[in-house]
């Protein structure tokens, strides 16, 4: 099967709010698929529908080929979830939480104990296995929750903002673990409002805003979508009249910081020709020239503004 998740026109409303409004996307086997959007975009609602916590109003979704409405148990069998809010019991130990989760997923006791041990070691929690979760740091707790999500050795993992509110070190650790899981062939759907995280981890990103998907593509292609935001930074060794530069048809926007001009253009090539010609004609040297492609942040702002 090529697609591990297939979503068709999925919709969920709360009174007058359309939390998820006709969403379509497919997640390929073995990829880290990012669901990127601001707070309130509908990310959690989507994850909750796909993991069987809430029911869609309309639309269809398939998890590993199983229809989530018709075969919810089959669909759930091979997935793991790291929910937005912790599902660990704070009055139980790390070990007890893992065994309890294994039980919920129907993992046989012997397998469960072996897996719990392995996961605790892998997630650097083994020394604390019998301590109550109450005393855990946020990072330790999040590692435990990820371990719980993996107790049934799922093929597909949903993570809802797994690094939100974590310290830098814990975030890095979680991200490394996700990359390792991908190496092992797991498929991951990750929601985040962190652009850098999506950029670093994801093969493809869906940008979601106000319940609708604005774009789905690789981070690189998303950045190319907004051509006009290409930028040239240029420094001359003589004085340049900003007024003269702003008459260039290739320049959309012009800013100056220190002795550096920052020019926005939709045609990098023509602009470089034009400014080079211009400098030559004035007998002024170009001391630095940099081209910058738009950041994912700019793409995100542009796409969510349009929506």
Residues that bind Mg ion in the complex, under the rule CB under 5 A: 43-44, 84
Q: What residue is closest to Mg ion based on CB?
A: 44
Site for ligand ADP in 43-82 (CB under 6 A): 43-45
Q: Rounded to whole angstroms, how far apart are CA atoms 146 and 160?
A: 11
| 153: region left, alpha or beta (phi > 0 left; psi from -120 to 50 alpha) | left
By C-beta, is 19 or 50 nearer to ligand ADP?
19
CB of 193 vs Mg ion, minimal distance in Å: 8
Q: Any contact of residue 7 with ligand ADP (CB under 6 A)?
A: no
By C-beta, is 14 or 273 nearer to ligand ADP?
14
Bridge-based pairing state of the strands 156-160 and 187-192? parallel
Stretch that binds ligand ADP, among 40-48, 123-131, 223-231, 244-252 (CB under 6 A): 40-48
Q: Any contact of residue 198 with ligand ADP (CB under 6 A)?
A: no
Q: Any contact of residue 37 with ligand ADP (CB under 6 A)?
A: yes
Select from ligand ADP, Mg ion, none the partner in contact with residue 144, using the beta carbon and a kind-dependent cut-off of 5 to 8 Å: none
Using CB under 6 A, count the residues that bind ligand ADP. Answer: 11
Q: What residues form DSSP beta bridges with 61?
A: 7
Q: What is the DSSP string of 225-279?
A: T-GGGEEEEEEESS---HHHHHT-TTEEEEEEETTEEEEEES-HHHHHHHHHHHH
By C-beta, is 45 or 231 nearer to ligand ADP?
45
| Rounded (5°) CA angle 93-94-96 | 65
Select from Mg ion, ligand ADP, none the partner in contact with residue 239, using the beta carbon and a kind-dependent cut-off of 5 to 8 Å: none
Pick the binder of ligand ADP from 36, 41, 226, 272 (CB under 6 A): 41
- Return the structure tokens found at 221: 């292609």
Q: Any contact of residue 39 with ligand ADP (CB under 6 A)?
A: yes
Long-range interactions of 121-128: CB distance < 8 A, separation 24+:
122/147, 123/147, 123/177, 125/94, 128/94
Q: Any contact of residue 17 with ligand ADP (CB under 6 A)?
A: yes
Q: Quick one: which H or E segment has residue 303?
A: helix 296-306
CB of 44 vs Mg ion, minimal distance in Å: 3
| Rounded (5°) CA angle 203-209-213 | 55
Would you tell me which residues interact with ligand ADP (CB under 6 A)? 14, 17, 19, 37, 39-45
């Amino acid at each position: 099967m090529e697609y591990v998740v297939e979503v068709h026109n999925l919709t969920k409303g709360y009174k007058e709010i359309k939390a998820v409004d006709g969403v379509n996307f497919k997640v390929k086997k073995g990829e880290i698929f990012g669901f990127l959007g601001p707070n309130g975009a509908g990310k959690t609602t989507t994850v909750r529908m796909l993991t069987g916590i809430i029911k869609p109003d309309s639309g269809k979704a398939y998890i590993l080929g199983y229809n989530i409405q018709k075969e919810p148990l089959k669909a759930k069998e091979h997935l793991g979830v790291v929910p937005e809010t912790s599902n660990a019991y704070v009055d139980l130990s790390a070990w007890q939480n893992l065994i309890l989760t294994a039980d919920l997923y129907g993992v046989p006791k012997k397998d469960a104990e072996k897996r719990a041990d392995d996961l605790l070691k892998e997630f650097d929690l083994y020394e604390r296995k019998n301590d109550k979760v109450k005393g855990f740091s946020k990072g330790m707790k999040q590692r435990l929750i990820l371990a719980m999500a993996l107790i049934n050795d799922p093929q597909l993992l949903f993570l809802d903002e797994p690094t939100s509110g974590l310290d830098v070190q814990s975030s890095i650790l979680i991200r490394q673990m996700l990359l390792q899981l991908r190496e092992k062939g797991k498929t991951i759907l990750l929601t985040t409002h962190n652009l850098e995280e999506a950029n670093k981890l994801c093969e493809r990103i869906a940008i979601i805003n106000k319940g609708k998907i604005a774009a789905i593509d690789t981070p690189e292609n998303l950045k190319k979508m907004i051509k006009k935001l290409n930028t040239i930074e240029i420094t001359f060794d003589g004085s340049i009249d900003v007024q003269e530069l702003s008459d260039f048809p290739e320049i959309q926007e012009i800013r100056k910081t220190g002795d550096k001009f920052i020019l926005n253009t939709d045609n990098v090539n023509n602009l470089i020709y034009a400014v080079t010609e211009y400098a030559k004609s004035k007998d002024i040297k170009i001391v630095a020239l940099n081209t910058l492609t738009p950041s994912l942040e700019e793409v995100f702002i542009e796409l969510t503004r349009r929506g």
